[in-house]
């Protein structure tokens, strides 16, 4: 099992969503870009970029807690993983620990708002469905290969989100 959080702001990389960072680490660990028989656990619903990466990476299953009403690409705004035109299907379970996930997001946002930063890096907050959210800079993600816990989990992350060697 591998955990990570987003690096969008820390790495100044708009593609450094937690899902992508953990998929990269999984690919490196398995020595294959195809992550067959894997499950990705995330706090909130993935965006279109991350949902597409799940298809390309052949992730078998996605589990997430909270819907993302602004950019969700699995159940909310779009339903990319239900489109059978793609060459791979990802099984989806959502609403798992939903209240806890929403609280985790709220806690993250409260802490983030207290941190001093430049106006350019602040991002916009939106009020939807009774809870505040930003665009995917708040979700820890987890990658698991059939329940195994591997040595690579202990490796520190480099700036790119890959394990240091």
The residues assigned a catalytic role are 19
Report how far residue 154's alpha carbon sits from residue 157's, in angstroms, rounded to the nearest whole number.
9
The string of DSSP codes covering 6-62 is --TTTTT-TT--HHHHHHHHHHHHHTSS--TTEEEEEEE---HHHHHHHHHTT--EE
If one counts every other C-beta atom within 10 angstroms of the C-beta of residue 28, the result is 16
């Amino acid at each position: 099992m591998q955990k990570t959080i987003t690096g969008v702001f820390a790495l100044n990389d708009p593609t450094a969503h937690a899902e992508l960072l953990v998929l990269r680490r999984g690919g490196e660990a398995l020595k294959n870009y195809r992550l067959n028989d894997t499950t990705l656990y995330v706090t909130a619903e993935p965006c279109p970029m991350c949902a597409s990466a799940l298809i390309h990476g052949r992730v078998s299953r996605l589990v997430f807690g909270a819907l993302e009403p602004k950019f969700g690409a699995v159940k909310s705004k779009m339903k990319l993983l239900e489109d059978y035109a793609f060459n791979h299907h990802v099984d989806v379970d959502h609403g798992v620990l939903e209240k806890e996930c929403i609280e985790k997001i709220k806690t993250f946002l409260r802490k983030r708002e207290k941190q001093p930063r430049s106006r350019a890096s602040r991002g916009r907050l939106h009020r939807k469905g009774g809870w505040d959210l930003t665009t995917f800079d708040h979700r820890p993600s987890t990658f698991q290969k059939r329940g195994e816990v591997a040595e690579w989990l202990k490796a520190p992350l480099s700036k790119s989100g890959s394990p240091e060697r």
